[in-house]
Structure 1
Amino acid sequence: MSRLRAVALTLGCTAAALTMTMTTAHAAPGDTTNMCGSTLTPSGFVDVQWWNSAGCGSGFNPNSKQVKQLTGLPVGTVVNACASTWPPAGWTIVSSFYSSSCNYSAVPSFNNNSWQLKRVS
Structure 2
Amino acid sequence: MSRLRAAVMTLGCTAAALTLTMGTAQAAPGDTTTMCGSSLTPSGYVDVQWWNSGGCGSGFNPNTKKIMQLTGYPVGTVVNACGSTWPPAGWTIVSSFYSAGCKYSAVPSLNDNSWQLKRVS
Under TM normalisation by the shorter chain, which class is it? 0.7 to 0.9
Contact 1:24 1:42 in 2 (8 A): no
Number of positions where the alignment pairs a residue of Structure 1 with one of Structure 2 = 100
Detail structure 1 runs of 4+ shifted over 6 Å in the superposition. Answer: none
Shift of 1:26: 2.6
What 5-or-longer segments of structure 2 have no aligned partner?
A: 1-21
RMSD of aligned alpha carbons: 1.6
Contact 1:45 1:70 in 2 (8 A): yes
Residues 7-45 of structure 1 deviation map (CA, whole Å, 9 limit, x = unaligned)? xxxxxxxxxxxxxxx879631111001000001000000
Structure 1's 24 and 91: CA in aligned 2 closer, same or farther, altered over 3 A?
farther
Question: Which one has a bigger Cα radius of gyration?
Answer: 2
Alignment pair present for 1:70 and 2:70: yes
Q: What percentage of aligned pairs have identical amino acids?
A: 83
TM-score (norm 1): 0.79
Give the structure 2 partner of residue 98 of structure 1: 98
What 5-or-longer segments of structure 1 have no aligned partner?
A: 1-21
Where do residues 24-63 of structure 1 align in structure 2 (5 Å cutoff)?
Answer: 26-63=26-63
Q: Which amino acid aligns with 2:81?
A: A
